[in-house]
Structure 1
Amino acid sequence: MAQDPRLTQIRAAMQRRDFASARAILADWPEAPALLAAQVAQLSGDIAGEDAALNRALAENPRHVGALLAMGDVKSRAGDDRAATSYFRAALNQAMTTQQPPELTPFLQRAQQWLAQSSARFEAHLRDKMGSTAALPRLSHAIDLLTGKTQLFLQQPSMFYFPGLPQRAFYEREEFDWLAEVEAATPLMWAELKARLSDGSDFRPYVETRTDRPSPNNPLKDDPSWGAHYFWNNGEVVDAHAAAAPATMAALAKAPIPVIRGRSPMALWSLLKPGTHIQPHTGMLNTRLIVHIPLVTNPDCALRVGPETRQWEQGKALIFDDSFEHEAWNRGKETRVILLFEIWRPEINAGEREALTRLFEAIDELEPPAPGNGF
């Protein structure tokens, strides 16, 4: 099909920067390409005409990335940040699903920068209007979610979900009155660990391939870089390990560890060698919390649970809900070892604990849990 000569005339006028002539041609050509009309209006400083032309382009193709970006720019120049935000986000989301021409890359990058700056302005406005109340922890978190500063993470256990529990990634040490005694035993537990490490042999891998199950999809499977030395495993005490670590066993006895046949207690030294990264994953259920007592660590080790990242400090417990997505890494030069065990969530009352114990034991009569997964 031959090209409409009016296209050539308009492009020639634009090259001469004769926008009046280009607009005159468009005035007598209502079916002209919408994006071309928008470009002429933009170069002419006609923001209303540009808006109308882009609306026509998006009516024809609501997912046109170039038109979405251009409309975002129009709304930004008009001072309508909320509308600009919606168009820029739509453009970036669409660009992630389909391949875009390279010439759009700088415009997509500019949209990302604009969104970041707009979010910062919006947050500053909100916190200024809220005054000191913006520092309230839950309100501050809500503002961070609203402005996109942080991501919403929720419990997503892979096996069993118990409803009605608070969505908390981390718990604080001061909330557990028994914990100080466990932490106080750190020097004795470290001495027992040091004796175990001195023999030079690796711990068994934390993730092991089973002959009666499909191979786990985990890059650290059968790799002692993430190692485990169990004291209790699936409810059974490991006699030799327990006998060699009496201080560790005494400390564990102070914690509210569940007793569920075939599942719990579960307690171990968890080892992470330098350069090892435990990829993001979620635990099996949300009825427990995981406790870490760091025995040896370094400043380049960290644990992310949901949106928050914390470092281990020797002798100071980290308590978290592993049904949130979490990951850990050791980017230092020294091996990290923690005492890891599970406890009942404090919000689950005695009657519910008894009922859950019966439920899990009934489940396991038909489907025993995999070794090392706890309850």
Structure 2
Amino acid sequence: MPLTRSQAELLAREGMAALRNGNAATAYDKLLLLQGGAPGIPAPWFLIAQAAQALGRDEEADAALVKFLAVEPRHLAALLTMAALKVRRGDDRAAQSFYRTALNVAAQPGATVPPMLVPMLRAGETFLAEVASRFTEHLDQILVGTRGATGKHSARTQQALDLMAGRTELYLQQPSMFYFPGLAQRAFFEREEFAWVAAMEASTAAICAELDRVLATDDGFAPYVQSTPDRPAPANPLLDDPSWSAFQLWQAGTPVEPNASLCPQTMAALASAPIPVIAGRSPMAIFSRLKPGTHIRPHHGMLNTRLICHLPLIAPDGCGLRVGAETRHWKTGEMLIFDDSFEHEAWNRGQETRVVLLFEIWRPELTPDERAALTDIFEAIDTYQGAAVDTG
């Protein structure tokens, strides 16, 4: 005989009271009588699951939670209860799925997490971290014999494994002004990939000699990020700060005098690189000086159609450059080449000043026709609104 609404309400109250008092057996017996529901009262599957779980009846608890989550798929307490149940039953893959869903629900804007569920969320985070660690160890053990003659995976294979294991973050090109599609998502390029690099590196001593003469007078360096009276000041903590400064050799497509004439060997070395020639914009080349204790905060460059080149001239310990997920350190005379449309930052935590010769080159993947088209595009942009200024 079907239950009346009043009978169902009484059983529900008695069942919940028994649960609160720790009498799981009585709660289970009473709540189970409601599995068929009653007029206006759905079956209390979540309460049934809680009682069953307290009695160690995991299979019945699992079945009840499945029915409840079919109706309430984003119910935080039920998701966490199911996740803990899956852990207890040894189903780690299912537990991961329920914990991730629960954490996503809790992180939604406006979500309110009852205090009693916070320890369960923290337990989920701990579980996911432990599972990820075990999974990584499993992969490392299984794949140890698949790394080839070098004993290492290729850089791309290792990056894919690190991303999957959560050992690194995914960074992508995010230029602040202009995005060209279809270019490789690479933070760093290797110096051996460019035929012109060896000759420029061979000129390091001559370039350093010219830099020494410049530094002896300390004239010509100006803050890299500068305020201008006709523009809002950029929100950069190094605004008008000589801690990060530039000695301009090429600026907006024009040699800067007398600086260029003071550095003829440097100007000659720059002529060998595939530097864009764009009216009012490029070539650009500077001696970039970073004083001790200076941090260039994370930021994105304006374009992904170029690469930034650093020829280190003074490279003390304690200095570094992070581009995307990878950090490298400058070595005197060894070119660093990177895509500055990735998030990047630099620092000098040492005791001496760092100086690099900084300039830009075309992305090597761009065809001659694409370079010509981009030159026309950038010149057209600048004739309309003026050249964009890199504010770091």
Common fold by TM > 0.5: yes
CA deviations over 1:261-288 (Å, ceiling 9, x no partner): 1110011122223333222222221111
2:298 aligns with one of 271, 276, 280: 280
Distance 1:151 1:293 in 2: 28
Say whether the 8 Å CA contact 2:280–2:379 is kept in structure 1.
Answer: yes
Distance 2:266 2:225 in 1: 23
Distance 2:92 2:18 in 1: 36
Larger radius of gyration: 2
Moved more, 264-273 or 32-41: 32-41
Distance change >3 Å, CA 83–CA 176, structure 1 → 2: same
Report the counterpart of residue 335 of structure 1 in structure 2. 353
Report the counterpart of residue 110 of structure 1 in structure 2. 123
Shift of 1:180: 1.8
1:23 aligns with one of 20, 25, 28: 28
Report the counterpart of residue 139 of structure 1 in structure 2. 157
Moved more, 310-319 or 199-208: 199-208
Distance 1:332 1:49 in 2: 63
Amino acid at match of 1:247: Q
Shift of 1:302: 1.7
Distance 1:104 1:215 in 2: 46
Report the counterpart of residue 90 of structure 1 in structure 2. 101
Say whether the 8 Å CA contact 1:225–1:272 is kept in structure 2.
Answer: yes
Shift of 1:356: 2.1
Shift of 1:314: 2.1
Distance change >3 Å, CA 91–CA 262, structure 1 → 2: same
Report the counterpart of residue 183 of structure 1 in structure 2. 201
Distance 1:252 1:9 in 2: 82
Say whether the 8 Å CA contact 2:243–2:289 is kept in structure 1.
Answer: yes
Report the counterpart of residue 51 of structure 2 in structure 1. 40
Report the counterpart of residue 6 of structure 2 in structure 1. none
Say whether the 8 Å CA contact 1:234–1:373 is kept in structure 2.
Answer: no
1:121 aligns with 2:134: yes
1:78 aligns with 2:89: yes
Shift of 1:247: 2.8
Distance change >3 Å, CA 358–CA 200, structure 1 → 2: closer
Q: How many residues align?
A: 370
Report the counterpart of residue 63 of structure 1 in structure 2. 74
Say whether the 8 Å CA contact 2:382–2:388 is kept in structure 1.
Answer: no
Moved more, 226-235 or 118-127: 118-127
Shift of 1:34: 5.1
TM-score, normalised to structure 2, is 0.83
CA deviations over 1:270-312 (Å, ceiling 9, x no partner): 2223333222222221111100112223332221212212122
Distance 2:83 2:124 in 1: 8
Distance 1:365 1:222 in 2: 27
Distance 1:168 1:19 in 2: 58
Matches within 5 A, 1:155-174: 155-174=173-192
TM-score, normalised to structure 1, is 0.86
Shift of 1:126: 4.1
Say whether the 8 Å CA contact 1:19–1:43 is kept in structure 2.
Answer: yes
Say whether the 8 Å CA contact 2:234–2:391 is kept in structure 1.
Answer: no
Say whether the 8 Å CA contact 2:225–2:391 is kept in structure 1.
Answer: no
1:11 aligns with one of 20, 33, 40: 20
Moved more, 57-66 or 359-368: 57-66
Report the counterpart of residue 350 of structure 1 in structure 2. 368
Distance change >3 Å, CA 331–CA 202, structure 1 → 2: farther
Amino acid at match of 2:146: S
Distance 2:101 2:327 in 1: 30
Amino acid at match of 2:120: F
Distance change >3 Å, CA 127–CA 48, structure 1 → 2: same
Amino acid at match of 1:120: S
**Ranges in structure 1 where 5+ consecutive residues have no aligned partner:** none
Say whether the 8 Å CA contact 2:220–2:247 is kept in structure 1.
Answer: no
Shift of 1:364: 1.8
Say whether the 8 Å CA contact 2:34–2:44 is kept in structure 1.
Answer: no
**Ranges in structure 2 where 5+ consecutive residues have no aligned partner:** 1-8, 36-41
Amino acid at match of 1:8: A
CA deviations over 1:191-249 (Å, ceiling 9, x no partner): 33333334457932222223333332333222222222211111121112112223322
